[in-house]
Amino acid sequence: MADACDSEVLLATIKHGVFSYGVATAVSYELSVQDVVVRGEGKVGPSCRAIVGKDLTAVCTFLVQPPQESGVAVADLVITCTLGNGNTRTHTLANMTTRGFAYEMNRESPPAMYRQSFVHVGDMDSGSDLATNVTIA
């Protein structure tokens, strides 16, 4: 049975290589998979779903500038969170680079926020996504 105290309850830090994002408030990442449906002869349903592409993207939101320029050197994106039981969990997204940023300020809902976008660079193996691209420890 799952222990609720093993859940992540506090976003501690977000680092891209040696660059630290000031007062990280949110992060999300997604591994998307593109496949092609191959139908057997005379079949209408998918006989096979073959993976033809994968992409790993991430977005982090933070309070204190600056964001990074687009296309900086490839580095690991490391997200550290505190668990309900006081331990920590680290998510490492390998081989990421920046792809732009956004600034948002709403006078009715301060403070101002920055969002930095990331994309994976380099080959992705056909093996396990968690072993080759995303490590959660």
Whether the model pTM is above 0.85: yes
Indicate the pLDDT class of residue 123, thresholds 50, 70 and 90. confident
DSSP label at 21? -
Q: How far apart are CA 110 and CA 90, in angstroms?
A: 29
- In whole angstroms, how far apart are CA 113 and each of 14, 17, 35, 78? 15, 21, 35, 20
Indicate the pLDDT class of residue 135, thresholds 50, 70 and 90. confident
Phi, psi of 21 (to 5 degrees): -85, 130
Query: Furthest-apart CA pair in the chain: how many Å?
Result: 61
Give the range among 13-27, 68-82, 118-132 with minimum mean pLDDT: 118-132
For 82-112, the pLDDT digits (tens) are 999 999 999 999 999 999 999 999 999 999 9
73 Cβ contact partners less than 8 Å away, ≥ 6 residues apart: 17, 97
Is it the case that residue 127 has pLDDT exceeding 70? no
Q: What is the pLDDT of residue 103?
A: 96
Domains and CATH numbers, the chain: 4-136 (2.30.110)
Is it the case that residue 126 has pLDDT exceeding 80? no
Is it the case that residue 130 has pLDDT exceeding 80? no
For 15-59, the pLDDT digits (tens) are 999 999 999 999 999 999 899 999 999 999 999 999 888 899 999
Q: What angle do CA 103, 106, 108 make, to 5 degrees?
A: 160
Q: How far apart are CA 100 and CA 97, in angstroms?
A: 10
